[in-house]
Structure 1
């Protein structure tokens, strides 16, 4: 009886909160599941129990209820291209949702992606941005080519016998990881090895497996940082590669901080030249440098590697597409033993169209990225949204919009060869857009350079086919042999 009285205030609070969210909350007029209106655990259910199925459920809800739905007590999701641009492209008064990014980036809490304060993020972008400008990328193109990455990747892939099967998803991620680490740190991770089973690749795979648990229970990551490494490896073996990788970057940064003059020994400018030049300890601290390094490797390696995997799959699945790419490359690049540079490759119309279509299909962050409306209400897609509301829209709904991309679920590079592609270009956002840009957008110039060089070399120097031609989804395995 005594315990019942103790619980009474709790049940009164929960009941009152439920009544408020259902009948008095400013978002009560927007359609959506009752459970979503009651609790944020609705998202947790689809992310963890349903294995990342939130976006699939959101798509179903939009088909039932229209362009705006309530998917959380204080969260609205849109399916309207105007909404996307008003939230991300032009939404200067909207800020990142700290609750989401604290969990989603719990492995790198001090990195740029996790930075939600607009001024702090702007300062960090201003430091890193110049290193990834088009001018900087062109100046370091020789680094990408001459370090035996893009231009000689074909020789690396031929480590095994002719007519062998290769896990191209791992091969591409190894290649792009080597490029980003060489470019950013002047020290390649050297992951392009037989089997493509480098610890960095295992770290990324382990991270992807636990991303949703980390999103909703970020304290697990915090605990692993504070606990002894031996204990972490015993209790959470999946975290071993992650902890080891962070320790390696920490060791590298300790050396630079102890001896800043050693930066002059680097073959070219690195991110540390930019970050360590600052007197602001909030930017040049050891923790920030480690997290920024880890973020760069993940964003630069996995994002571009995924585009390469998806693009290669569709080029091999539809032989007409593959033949068009090869024909154009052979005409523009008659002697494949001589390297072809980035600026020449980007002038090839069909290769460019193919890369754009691969980017449209290769959505990096499918999960919607939430933004918070400021202290005054704002209009989004014709709706007056109250202050403090969390608003979001998955890039999936932008890239698969039938009003802009006809037959959107068909991989068709020819759509980019029409006279007017302005609407499609505006809605192509693989690296996000706007003043609160994703970290991937900062490195987008490097990503474009990599895509041209990798696809150009792969399709000019190799002849490939799918390992299993009956497979219906993007595979990890390809059958490869030299031309």
Structure 2
């Protein structure tokens, strides 16, 4: 009797909620799939069951329904450049939506990315910001250069024979992992080894692949942390290297908490100088908070920059005239490759600069929509939005807007060489916009200049697999949404030779 009554009440409840969401909810007037209006599991279906196909589905819906669509019971997605700026540049009217970010960052819930309270986020950014200022990056430029030199040496030693080839995605993610760990912690992960298959790299990629599982089922991350490690490693062998990496930073943090003065003996300034010794910090961060900040920076600083390098190199080699033009410009500015060329000089090279901007535009950055919640009634691109509504827009729709970037699916650095780039720069957001923009953007720019500058100055490269050229259209090649974009061809291999002037393009 009680069971039947409970089941009946459950069906009544579900029916009432469904009727409300379909016909009486403030968002019922917006177009979108029926299932999306009924349940948030619409996103789960595309992120997990369809392997990260949410963005592809959203693109289809916008083409069918227009600039604003309902993709959840309380969620709207926009495809309007004005909407992007309204949502992400307005720091007072929106906050990060906790349900998404605390699941998305379940492995580091106390880190900067997870901070949904604006005041807490402002404090954390004020503490970490000086570590990533332009002044700080220039002061530690030699640290970045040393890692890039290590990559160049490894490539010369192991991959310049006619029979060898190198998978650039793995090489780039190795160097960016070593840069961010050395820069932030004065303790490099040392993932640059022949083959570029260090266990830490594999574990980071596994975390990225599981990101949507923990976003929708965050309790699984907690369960894995509390379960016997032997059991977790047996169920997921890749987890072992993740645990090893986390343990290494835990030991470092434990030593710093036991003796805060030991921060001063590090080889160079680290994030711990700012988190432990900064007078702005009202309280000493807990062990968990320090660990979470470390893993937030590790993930954000390795995968995204590595992805930009992977995309940029691929298209430079797919269109050899781009690679030749890069090499020619670099050779003319840097005739003696044995003497390092600094960041401030590389920044002044016009074609290298526009090439990096196009690589950033094409790789998008964080490609998945990052939701915000309206704190008051707001107007977004002409639509009045009620308080509490979740709103979002993927940066991909900004970077691939044909009204601002003509022929947007073509990789074309020359688009940035026109006289007036104001409109393009306004909609150029690889590091997001507004108060929650990426804290590490100065370091990212430094890495991109030094990596691309050294690679295209010191090597002649050619795509190893000719078949790649037949399947590289952006829309065909796009694979799935795993926070940053992925393509079917991202495992491409390259044949490399030491630099030879014969490959330079004619002077213009």
Q: Which residue of 2 aligns with 1:60?
A: 60
Q: Which residue of 1 aligns with 2:193?
A: 193
Is the Cα contact below 8 Å between 2:137 and 2:442 reproduced in 1?
A: yes
Q: Which residue of 2 aligns with 1:111?
A: 111
- State the distance in 1 between where 2:329 and 2:20 align: 62
Matched, 1:154 2:152: yes
Q: Which residue of 2 aligns with 1:275?
A: 275
- State the distance in 1 between where 2:337 and 2:61 align: 51
What does 1:389-468 correspond to in 2, within 5 Å? 389-437=389-437, 441-468=438-465
Is the Cα contact below 8 Å between 1:172 and 1:305 reproduced in 2?
A: yes
Matched, 1:369 2:376: no
- State the distance in 2 between where 1:216 and 1:331 align: 52
- State the distance in 2 between where 1:424 and 1:74 align: 32
Q: Which residue of 1 aligns with 2:225?
A: 225
1:269: Cα distance to partner?
A: 0.7
Q: Which residue of 1 aligns with 2:341?
A: 340
| Counterpart among 459, 479, 483 of residue 495 in structure 2 | 479
- State the distance in 2 between where 1:92 and 1:424 align: 25
- State the distance in 2 between where 1:225 and 1:278 align: 30
SS at match of 2:157: coil
Change (3 A) 1:273 1:312: same
- State the distance in 2 between where 1:6 and 1:298 align: 45
Q: Which residue of 2 aligns with 1:120?
A: 120
Is the Cα contact below 8 Å between 2:106 and 2:218 reproduced in 1?
A: yes
TM (norm. structure 1) is 0.96
List per-residue Cα deviations over 1:93-121 (Å, max 9, x = no partner).
Answer: 20000000011101111111011010011
- State the distance in 2 between where 1:283 and 1:70 align: 43
Matched, 1:99 2:99: yes
Which 10-residue stretch deviates more, 78-87 or 244-253?
244-253
Is the Cα contact below 8 Å between 2:371 and 2:392 reproduced in 1?
A: yes
Change (3 A) 1:475 1:469: farther
- State the distance in 1 between where 2:393 and 2:194 align: 40
- State the distance in 2 between where 1:479 and 1:390 align: 47
Is the Cα contact below 8 Å between 1:360 and 1:428 reproduced in 2?
A: yes
- State the distance in 2 between where 1:282 and 1:198 align: 37
1:252: Cα distance to partner?
A: 1.1
- State the distance in 1 between where 2:297 and 2:331 align: 34
1:337: Cα distance to partner?
A: 1.4
What does 1:268-347 correspond to in 2, within 5 Å? 268-277=268-277, 284-347=285-348
- State the distance in 1 between where 2:284 and 2:258 align: 17
- State the distance in 1 between where 2:262 and 2:86 align: 45
1:241: Cα distance to partner?
A: 2.4
List per-residue Cα deviations over 1:40-73 (Å, max 9, x = no partner).
Answer: 0010110111000000000000000000000000
What does 1:250-269 correspond to in 2, within 5 Å? 250-269=250-269
- State the distance in 2 between where 1:120 and 1:91 align: 13
TM (norm. structure 2) is 0.91
1:397: Cα distance to partner?
A: 0.3
1:278: Cα distance to partner?
A: 5.0
Q: Please tell me the root mean square deviation across aligned C-alpha atoms, in Å.
A: 1.4
- State the distance in 2 between where 1:469 and 1:422 align: 38
Gapped regions of structure 1 (runs ≥ 5): none
Change (3 A) 1:173 1:283: farther
Q: Which residue of 2 aligns with 1:73?
A: 73
1:5: Cα distance to partner?
A: 2.5
Gapped regions of structure 2 (runs ≥ 5): 473-488, 500-508
List per-residue Cα deviations over 1:305-354 (Å, max 9, x = no partner).
Answer: 11111000000000111111111111111111111110000100110000
What does 1:342-357 correspond to in 2, within 5 Å? 342-357=343-358
Q: Which residue of 1 aligns with 2:481?
A: none
Which 10-residue stretch deviates more, 256-265 or 356-365?
256-265
List per-residue Cα deviations over 1:163-204 (Å, max 9, x = no partner).
Answer: 321111111111111111111111221111111122220111
- State the distance in 1 between where 2:113 and 2:63 align: 32
Is the Cα contact below 8 Å between 1:151 and 1:453 reproduced in 2?
A: no
Q: Which residue of 2 aligns with 1:133?
A: 133
- State the distance in 2 between where 1:188 and 1:179 align: 7
- State the distance in 2 between where 1:236 and 1:263 align: 35
- State the distance in 2 between where 1:158 and 1:286 align: 41
SS at match of 2:148: coil
Is the Cα contact below 8 Å between 2:202 and 2:238 reproduced in 1?
A: no
SS at match of 2:306: helix
List per-residue Cα deviations over 1:398-439 (Å, max 9, x = no partner).
Answer: 0000110000000000000000101111111111111123xx
